[in-house]
Amino acid sequence: MSSRETHVVEMGDILANEADLLGMIKEYLKFGEFDDTVHQFEKECKDKGKLIPKSRGNRLRDSKTLIIQKDLLSSFDDGDFKVFFELWEEYIPAEVRDSDPQTQKLEFYLHIHFTIFPLKIHLGGPTDRDGRITHFKQYLETRGATLSQTTEFLPYYALPFVPSPAVHPSFRDLFQDTWVPEVRRKLEAFLSATLKVTNAPRLLLLYLQLQLAEAERRASYYMRRFGKMQADHHRLIDVTAELVDSLEDTVRGKMVFPACRLTSALPQEVPLLPSLDYDKLKRDLLGGSDRLKALLLQALRWRLTRSLHGEQRDTVLQAYISNDLLDLHSAQQVGSDSQPRGSCKIVRQYMARLINALASLSEGRAYLSQVPSVLLVLLESLKTEEKDSLSRENVLGALQKLSLRRSQQSAMIGAGLIGWLVEELQDSDCLSDYTLEYAVALLMNLCLRTRGKRECARNAKSILKVLTDLLGHENQQIRPYVNGALYSILAVPAVREEAREMSMEEILGCYSREENPELNRQIEFIIKQLNSGEVPEEGRESDNEEEEEDDDDEDMMETDLDKEEVLLPQPRELSGETLLTTNYLGIMTNLATRSKKKSSAPPGVHEPLQRPVTPSSHRNALAM
């Protein structure tokens, strides 16, 4: 097809859609009895050469309704109970069938009609009659059981067991010539009332559908928020219980040891956890059963997340790294083999959880970054795991934390992760809070790089639309990362030009009216960047990770790492620290901890973020 022909087809489609829209507008005006407006509307459309088609929406719906009624009545007349009840269950609303007494009575008589149908017309072999009787028995034992105490229907519960119901005194009326027409009349009246045609205009129905979709979206969001608040509430109860127990022990004069979730106020000697046999651990992580693998991965993560911050946790991490827990440097890599689609779902989830926990610590990120294949496996898992599964949440969390390191940023940008994130965030309302927050924070970290900005410039319109949509999202935790990403990519002239074409300044102005001075100040910085005429210097310096030092000194273990545990020990089954110290006790595998460098000062809260961060570290910086 030539370009001219294609253009003609596209124009035809546009005109057809416009005509359909004009028809819906006229239909709505007539429904609202805006007679003068309808007359003027028709006159103006005629003057402008706009075609208004005759309303056909209601006619289509009405014709479909009439076809359904006709099919139901035909099935009734033909005695085809299979087709009849398929249509009955599909088109008669469940709330009517289940709660309306008159409908339940009619349904009972309909079953009787189909059961005795072969006896009345003297057709159908024994197999057909047996099949109908079996169907009627199943009905009496299920849906028909509700009428078993009703005097009107009680005799009919014996119908399947009577050899010749036509001559039985209790069922003689069923074989009178007037019985079937009477049931059919009731059925016809019921269908006319239940499957009645609608006079609502299409425009109103479209609006109601949009309102319903919006209500469902908001309900889904609030349910997710409620779930998170409920989980936080339960954690708070646990901590409170531990505090009460500690106070009671103190009153009794007992020695109090700090619980894993409580931080002691006074400096004290913290015991190191027992050493482990890492050779045996790695053998079982590779060759053990799926359940053993999952239990070990869970226990190893708990040892890291539940250890006390400081020397105890540092010693655990150093032991993992020095003993190459994930076997990253051997021919068979646990970190790579546990992630592909073919392995057990729960093993993949618990491997992702452990990697996410390791990535929460600076030296853990350095360990994971030593072998490029780890990042490639994580990127593949991000795209193949089920949406909003715990596996994918933890893979995304690990990638976001690894994006603090420049080498990992470069690899992610080169693998096209920015485009994947932008596409994923287009449907942000379907994402969990964790996925949304870490996806936006990861996008911001990648946008801070010169290569990342260039990647965004290739599809500036799409990424700007996604980011501006996210400004209005109900989850306000993502705003600093959205602002940081916008501020960063607006340094590119091509992105600024695209932003001006879509009236970005007016859009940002709408959000600066909110009662949040910190975010308002960030919006002012973004608008200033939008209106600047600076041209960034071209060069490769900012993309050379060997020449620039990583800004990776964050150690933050968020509580979400241990949320929603799906693996629970069976009776007398070892798990957690008990499993490790019972079956995998080692000798001198713990090493002395290394000195930690101090964290750099956080950026001012009034400015957009301009250095890579993780959500947990950013929240901690704001709290400080």
Instruction: Write the DSSP assignment of 244-282 as a string of letters.
Output: HHHHHHHHTT------TT---SS----PPPPPB-HHHHH
**What is the structure's pLDDT at 219?**
75
Cα distances (angstroms) measured from residue 481 to each of 292, 411, 454: 39, 21, 19
**What is the structure's pLDDT at 398?**
94
State the pLDDT confidence band at 545, using cuts at 50, 70 and 90: very low
User: Which has the higher per-residue pLDDT, 247 or 347?
Assistant: 347
CA 41 to chain CA mean position, Å: 45
**What is the structure's pLDDT at 551?**
54
Residues in the chain: 624
User: Which has the higher per-residue pLDDT, 547 or 467?
Assistant: 467
Which range, 383-392, 581-590, 603-612, is most confident?
A: 383-392
Q: pLDDT tens digits, residue range 413-466?
A: 999 999 999 999 988 888 888 899 999 999 999 999 999 999 999 989 999 999
**What is the structure's pLDDT at 214?**
75
Task: Give me the mean pLDDT over the 567-577 stretch.
Answer: 90
Residue 294 in this model has a pLDDT that exceeds 90: yes
User: Which has the higher per-residue pLDDT, 326 or 16?
Assistant: 326
Closest by alpha carbon to 409, among 610, 613, 545? 545
**What is the structure's pLDDT at 321?**
93
User: Which has the higher per-residue pLDDT, 280 or 523?
Assistant: 280
**What is the structure's pLDDT at 533?**
74
Q: pLDDT tens digits, residue range 346-379?
A: 999 999 999 999 999 999 999 999 988 899 999 9
What percentage of residues in the chain have a pLDDT greater than 90? 31
SS3 585: strand
**What is the structure's pLDDT at 548?**
53
**What is the structure's pLDDT at 346?**
92
User: Which has the higher per-residue pLDDT, 548 or 613?
Assistant: 613
Three-state SS across 318-334? Answer: HHHHHCCCCCCCCCCCH
**What is the structure's pLDDT at 122?**
67
Annotate 449-486 with b (16+ C-beta within 10 A) or e (fewer). Answer: bbbbbbbbbeebeebbebbbebbebebeebbbbbbbbb
Q: Output the six-digit token pair for 609.
A: 């973020």
Cα distances (angstroms) measured from residue 56 to each of 63, 202, 494: 10, 10, 47
User: Which has the higher per-residue pLDDT, 60 or 578?
Assistant: 578
Residue 589 in this model has a pLDDT that exceeds 50: yes
Task: Give me the mean pLDDT over the 165-187 stretch.
Answer: 89
The mean of the pLDDT values for the chain is 80
Distance CA 15, CA 21 (A): 10
Residue 194 in this model has a pLDDT that exceeds 70: yes
